[in-house]
Structures are given as C-alpha cells and as structure tokens.
Structure 1
Amino acid sequence: MIDVSALRALRSVAVLGTLAKAADELGFTASAVSQQIKRLEREVGVPVLAPAGRGVVLTPAGQAIVDSAPEVFQALEHCAEAARSVSEGAPRGVLRVVGFSTGIRGLLAPAVTALFAQAPDLSLHISEQDPEQALHSVEAGTADLAMVHDADGLPVTLPTSVSQRHVHTDVGDVVLHRTHPLAAIGRPLSIDDLAGHAWVTSPPGTVCHQWFRRLFAGAAEEPDVRHLIDDFSTQLSLVASGSVIALIPRLARPPLRDDLVALPLKRAPKREVFAAWRRSADASPAIQAVLSELSSASPTWGDEHVRSDSQAG
C-alpha cells in the first residue's frame, strides 16, 4: 500500500521542482523527503522522479500518481471529517491557517478572541504566505485554510479541489496631515484633486503600487512620487511630516495618529478577500467556525478617521 506521507512528498516535489523546496514546505530535511520518494518507488515498483539540471521532474509513472493524489487526499479527509462530525460537531484540534499579512492582521487577528470564546478546544497555527503559495499549501494539504485576495483586479484562480467564500472588500484611502490643503475638501477626492501633490507609495511589484498606478491611469501628468516605502507605518511617519500624502488600504493601515486623516476617493481601488479550503473539508467544524467569525468580524482599524462627505471640510 502506498504510504500517504510519501505520496504527499512526491506531490510537493512535483509542484516545487526540487527536494529542498519540498522539504522546506513539509517541515522535513531534504534527505527525509528523498527517503520517502525512494520508499514510494519501492512500493509501486517503478521510478517516479528523474534528474533535470539542478532539480527533478516526474516520470510518466510519477505523473500518473500525482494526478491521482487529490482523490486519495480527499477520501482520507472525508474519513477524518466524518469522525469529527460524530464527535458532536464541535470545533477542536489544530487548524493550520495561511494568508497574506494584512489580512491576518486586519481580519483574522480581530476574530481570534471571539473564536476561542466559542471554540475553546480549537487551536490556530497561523503562517504568512502570499496568495499563490497559500492556495498551493491548502491544495497540497500542508494548510487547512487560506486567506487570499484577488491579484490586480483579476479573480482568484482556484484549483478544482478547493472551495472559497468572500469575506471582505478592502478599500484604499488617501491619508494626509490634517493641515494639508486636501483635508478641507468636503467630498471624496477626484484624480484632479490629487494632481500636483507629493506622494509616498509602496515599491513597484506590490499590490499597493499597482493600485497607485491604476489610480493615475489616464491622468494628464505623472504623479510626484518622492518616496518608495514598503512598510505602511513608515509611510505614515512621512505623511505626518506634512510633505507627502499616501494611498493605503484599510486592512494595511495601523491606527492613525490624531494629526492624520484618511479621505475617501471617488474611484477608490479595491481588492476582494476570500477564504479558501479543500472541498473535502467542507464539513469541518473548525473551518466553519473560523469562516463564521471572519464573516462577522470587522477590522480593528481602518475606518476610523475616514471622513464622510458631511464630515470633511
């Protein structure tokens, strides 16, 4: 009979391309993963990997095994979930959650207190991963639940074995000093309002930089970007000097100082946040408990100091 841990190791090697990367993901040494693969080859009687430069590739037999692996994992998880459901359906045990940092900080962390009050026998193990890696971890079985967001306005592409639920819409606001000229405008800001002002923004390659570029798409002149800073707390420190303004997502924004204010935009950039899990775990009491809290939780910061039309001016 094929060993499940060896099957999981082969699947990780197939996705990541090397024994070392698979070992990092699975929490083993490369030697241990190599031994698992060799054991699998002895069990099936044929080679499943072949060397390819500095990495490895699947043999046709290995590919056939990997293609069948999701059905095996789903069947095993159905067995486990059936056992959990029999046990009163109470959320218990360890749930491995992966997600992007601001989603963890703004959505998951605020939900933890209420979650543990409702499910004292449940424990969360949380790791930061970007959306693509998080979805792979869920599909591969190294994580149980992922928090992901759409990429530059494009919908999240899910494996067929993964379910999802929308949990939040994140919005970007312009943050500035209370004495800044824009603070006196009594309505959401337009692209024309922003012309001629100096900015601090996130570096190229980040979601927030993509938001910033889209905001100024079609503008008559390029924005005056003075600083490229990845850390939002540092951005806010520069904004507090009164010399620059910033575009910051609400989930990413720490509580604002009293001398700062966030103003809404007419065409505010948005990103949709989803929770994702394996379809075979749909009945998991632990996953359903977390989903319930995520859907009802509000970020602990982000909306404060955002002026409405009636408040501005």
Structure 2
Amino acid sequence: MVEIGALRALRSVAALGTLARAAEELGFTPSAVSQQIKRLERQIGVPVLAPAGRGVVLTPAGQAIVDAAPEVFQALERCAEAARSVAEGAPRGTLRVVAFSTGIRGLLAPMIPRLSARCPDLRLHITEQDPEQALHSIHSGAADLALVHDADGLPAPLPVPLAQHHVHTDIGDVVMRRTHPLARLDRPLTSADLAGQTWVTSPPGTVCHQWFRRLVADVPDDPDVRHLVDDFSTQLSLVRANQVIALVPRLARPPLGEGLVSRPLGRPPKREIHAAWRRSADASPAIQAVLAELGRTDTPTSSPD
C-alpha cells in the first residue's frame, strides 16, 4: 500500500525540483522527505527519482505515479469533506489560507471578527504569498484557500483541479495632500489633470507600477517620478511630507488622516480578486463559511476623503 505522505512528498519534489524545496513546502527536513521517497520506492519496487545536476528528475515510473496522484488526493479529500459536511455542517479545525498582502489587509482581516463569532471552532492560518505561489500551494495541497488577483488585467492561470469565485474588484485612486491643487477638484481626474505632477510610485515589475504606466500613457511629458517605494504606508508618508502624489489601490490604503485626501480617476485602474480552492473541497464547511463572510466584507467602494 502506497503511503499518502510519500505520495505527497513525491508530488512536491516533482513540482519544485529538489528535495530541499519540497521539504520547505511540506514543513519537513530534506532527510525526512528523502526517507519518504525511499519508502515509496521500496513499496512499489522501482526507482521514482534520478539525480540531475543539483536537483532530481522523475523516472518514467515516478512520472506515472505523479500523473495518477491528483485522483487519489481528490478522492481522499472528498471523503474527508463528506464526513465534515454531515457533522451538522459545522466549520471547525484549521483552514490554511494564502493571500497577497493587501488582500489580507483589506479582505481577510475585516471579516475575521465576524467569522470568529459565527464559527468559534474554526481557526484561520494565514500566509502571505503572491498569486502564482498561492495557486501552487492550493494545487499541491499545502493550503486550502487562496486569494489571488489578476496581473495587468490577465487572470492568473487556474489549474484544472481548482475552482474559483469572484470576491472583489479593487480600484486605484490618486492620493495627495489636502492642500494640493488637485484636491480642490470635485470631479474624477483626467490625464490632463495629471500633466506636470510629481509622483511616488510602486517599483517596476509590480502590478501597481503597470497601473501607473497606463495611467500616464496619455500625458504629453514623461512623468516626474521622485520615489520608487513598494510599501503603500511609506508612499503615503512621502505624500504627507512632500508635494508628490501617489496611485494607491483601495484595498492597500490605510486611513488617510486629516492631512491627505484621495480623488477618483475618470478611467481608474482595476484588478479582479478571486478566491480559489480545490474542486474536491467544494463541500468543505470551512471554505464555504469563509466565502460567505468575504461576501459580507465592507470594503471601500468609493473614494472617501
């Protein structure tokens, strides 16, 4: 009989390429993962891994096992969720959630008090991960529920065994000091309004920097970018200290305080946010409880001062 732990270890090694990386994902030592793989090889009677440089590759037998593994894990998960769902459908235990930073701040954190009151026996274990890594964690079984956002308008590729549900549309606004000339405008800002402005923006390679480049694409002159900062709280501190302005997603925006205001854009940048989970866990009371509370989360839908 093949051990489930050994099967999970082999799948992680296949996905990540080394015993060390698989061990980190699974929370074991590389020696423990190696022992699991060796037990698997003894159980089936053939090698499943072969050395390749500093990593390892699957043998044909190992690839055949990995290809069949999803059906095994899905069947086991359906059994577990069926048992939980008939136990009065009460969410309990620990739900492992992975999400990007501003999704944790703007979506998960606000709903935790309500979830705790409604489901006192359910505990969330939240880990920050970017969307690609989060989807891998769900697919590999290292996490149960993920919050992911699209990248520059393109949704993250969703592996076939996963399901998803739209949770929120995040929008970017321009934040400035209350004394800034743009703060006096009582209408959405246009490209013409942004000409000649001085900025603090997120660094290149981030979704918010892509938002910024599209936002200023129609501005005649190159934008005057004084600062490149990834943390939005730090961006706002620079806005507060200087006459720079910033493009900030609403989910990422802490309270502005008296000195700052935000103004909406005529063509605001947007990103769609989805929850993702394994289809075999559709019946999970814990996942359904979190999805229900996410649907009730009071997230910013306008651009308040």
* TM-score grouping bracket, smaller chain normalisation: over 0.9
Cα drift, residue 213 of structure 1 = 1.0
**Counterpart position of 2:208:** 208
Residue of structure 1 in register with 2:20 after alignment = 20
Write out per-residue CA displacement over residues 210-239 of structure 1, whole angstroms, 9 at most, x where no aligned residue. Answer: 111111224322111000011111110110
**Equivalent residue for 1:135?**
135
Secondary structure (helix, strand or coil) at the match of 1:277 reads strand
Contact 2:90 2:285 in 1 (8 A): yes
Partner Cα separation in structure 1 for residue 109 and residue 144 of structure 2:
17
User: Which letter does structure 2 place at the counterpart of 1:222?
Assistant: D
Q: Distance in 2 between matches of 1:166 and 1:6?
A: 35
Structure 1 unaligned segments of length 5 or more: list them: 307-313
Contact 2:173 2:303 in 1 (8 A): no
Does the 8 A contact of 2:194 with 2:219 survive in 1? no
In structure 2, distance between residues paired with 1:275 and 1:84: 21
Letter in 2 for 1:115: L
Between the aligned partners of 1:258 and 1:107, the Cα distance in structure 2 is 24
Structural mapping, 1:155-170, within 5 Å: 155-170=155-170
Offset of 1:64 from its aligned partner?
1.0
Is 1:251 aligned to residue 251 of structure 2?
yes
By how many angstroms is 1:156 displaced? 2.4
Equivalent pair of 1:190/1:266 in contact (CA under 8 Å): yes
SS state at 1:81 partner: helix
Superposed displacement of residue 241, structure 1: 2.1
SS at match of 1:174: strand
Amino acid at match of 1:39: R
For structure 2, list consecutive stretches of 5 or more residues without a partner in the other structure: none
RMSD (Å), alpha carbons: 1.2
Letter in 2 for 1:246: A
Mapped to 2, the partners of 1:61 and 1:217 lie a distance apart of 53
- Give the corresponding residue for 1:260: 260
Q: Equivalent residue for 1:115? A: 115
Q: Check if 1:99 corresponds to 2:99.
A: yes
Letter in 2 for 1:80: A
Contact 1:164–1:275 (CA under 8 A) maintained in structure 2: yes
Cα deviations by residue, 1:27-50 (Å, 9 ceiling, x for unpaired):
000111111111111111111111
TM-score, scaled to structure 2:
0.97
Across the two proteins, how many residue pairs are aligned to each other?
A: 305
Cα distance, 1:13 vs. partner?
0.8
User: 1:86 Cα shift?
Assistant: 1.6
Q: Deviations over 1:109-150 (max 9, x none)?
A: 100010111111111111111111111111111100000001
Answer whether contact 1:179 1:242 (CA < 8 A) is retained: no
Equivalent residue, structure 1, for 2:32: 32
SS at match of 1:120: coil
